[in-house]
A and B are shown apart, each in its own frame.
Chain A
């Protein structure tokens, strides 16, 4: 870890902790997040974690840039990695099927693995939630096995169904709501990923872990899933 503080805006500083994406970053990122929330207290407006950085947006009527830097330095004193005290582990049921995950065949071809094996490998790992972004509740998770990695589609789809599970490079994610998107789709989850009525709103929070569990079509429907084929959305 090599922490640096960078200027971002009149009322924002970036704490950069790492230079590469890695699962091993997360305990440090979580620890730093907790400390920052504590030292800034009510002067913190927003804390935006991403893979290697934490953007601190503070109340500029209460703190000047120098004071904000001092608080960040204070948060880093004797920082020790957080052994995931805050992170929850979620199990997301997924109906892996070509009608809702057309790139299953592409990933199978690219990897030389059978579709069944692609599913087994995607669901056989526990993933870290690195960051949320793109849309409310959209969690960037990783890392998927190298053999399943695939670049984003050349032309993003105009409409991706809510719950769609996809892969881009070595990351995986599920779309909380219908939106445009360029990820390789492999299945669909019935889980409600963002809910304004739920405490905390988003099912997944930065630092959580996620495991995907393959379920049958019947189970997917029983859990409230919508099996409208992807092409019917276009």
Chain B
């Protein structure tokens, strides 16, 4: 078993995996890595199953010291990572020798970095997952939903010998500003014509009111003209429009049911990109039909 001691952390540094499934009918949210794609690549770099527990570090402020010689992997945002002061770029595995310190300082590109370990970080399985959901007091190192804290110890049991780098062709481009694909949902026809034009032709600004439950989009208010809705299941990435007309993209820690009309839901690849955007960023939405989005997603999964 190899160990790391956490020297610095924030409430936004969380143990995550692919999320909690099969319990949403009990009101238990999904949780899991907000940028599933970077989590998967971090695991891939170590030859892990793609959904093993990783550390999600949002915006930096995280540091660990190795208690043993370790081989780890970093993917996702460039949070100014350093090993004993020397810069470390993401999308690679790397050695961290006993006593060395890995530090993630501040966002240089993107918002969320994922740190993986061979065999995944060890934590108790709670309702089928290790994903930390603070609000539900589920998952994480102790199983009770706490963020990672200074002084805590991370451990893993696997072994990987080879240092790898993700080929440039596979590396997600966090600078990409192409529109985010949105699968059109059932209420789409009940927004005003002008609102449909605005939704897909104007830029939206990410509000600072953003967390793992959802991100509010600021822009022209959208008008829903349909009947009030009865609460129903909400999918990951749903773009719901409350009465003030400012859409909210619902993320991993969203409530399981809700009653606001929806434009539809972002695709998983769009969500992975959104999870790397900082407040103030401008995004655009692009409508896509379910079949096309499905084909694109399955095609992407072949890369792993």
Contact = CB atoms under 8 A, between A and B. Distances in A.
Interface of A: 6-12, 14, 20-21, 45-55, 57, 60-61, 64-66, 131-140, 177, 194, 196, 200-202, 205-206
Question: For the side of the interface on B, what is the size category?
Answer: 35 or more
Contact of B298 (A12, A60, A139): A60
A61 B298 contact: yes
Interface stretch (B35-43, B107-115, B286-294): B286-294
A29 to B, nearest CB: 11
A55 B232 contact: yes
A136 B28 contact: yes
Given A10-B290, A201-B26, A205-B26, A60 B186 contact: no
B171 interface: no
B238 interface: yes
Given A8-B185, A9-B264, A206-B25, A133 B231 contact: yes
Contacts of B258: 133
6 contacts: A8-B238, A12-B235, A135-B27, A135-B136, A136-B136, A200-B26
Contacts of A66: 291
Contact of B26 (A12, A21, A53, A202): A202
Interface stretch (B16-24, B51-59, B80-88, B191-199): B16-24
A48 B185 contact: no
B170 to A, nearest CB: 19
A208 to B, nearest CB: 12
B232 A53 contact: yes
Contacts of A53: 230, 232-233
Nearest to A51: B230
A194 B265 CA distance: 30
Contact of B230 (A48, A49, A52, A205): A52
Interface in B209-238: 230-238
A114 to B, nearest CB: 33
B236 A9 contact: yes
Contact of B291 (A48, A54, A61, A65): A65
Interface in B249-296: 255-258, 264-265, 267-268, 290-291, 293-294
A228 B134 CA distance: 24
Contact of A138 (B27, B127, B267, B294): B27
A131 B231 CA distance: 9
A137 B293 CA distance: 33
Contacts of B294: 10-11, 60, 64-65
Nearest to B137: A177
Given A7-B183, A48-B232, A135-B136, 20 more contacts: A8-B265, A9-B238, A10-B268, A11-B235, A11-B294, A12-B233, A12-B235, A46-B23, A49-B233, A51-B230, A52-B232, A53-B232, A54-B233, A65-B294, A133-B231, A136-B138, A138-B27, A196-B127, A196-B138, A201-B26
Contacts of B291: 64-66
Contacts of A10: 183, 265, 267-268, 290, 293-294, 297
Nearest to B258: A133
Contacts of B30: 46
B161 interface: no
A75 B281 CA distance: 44
A50 B230 contact: yes
Nearest to A5: B186
B233 A50 contact: yes
B10 to A, nearest CB: 23
Contacts of A48: 24-25, 232-233, 256-257
Nearest to A45: B21
A49 B265 contact: no
B184 A7 contact: yes
B124 to A, nearest CB: 10
Contacts of B184: 7
B301 interface: yes
A52 to B, nearest CB: 5
A133 B257 contact: yes
B126 interface: yes
B196 to A, nearest CB: 16
Nearest to B237: A9
Contacts of A206: 25
Contacts of B231: 50-51, 131, 133, 140
Across the A-B interface, the 7 shortest Cβ-Cβ residue pairs: A55-B233, A48-B233, A9-B265, A6-B186, A9-B235, A133-B257, A132-B27
Given A135-B136, A201-B26, A55 B235 contact: yes
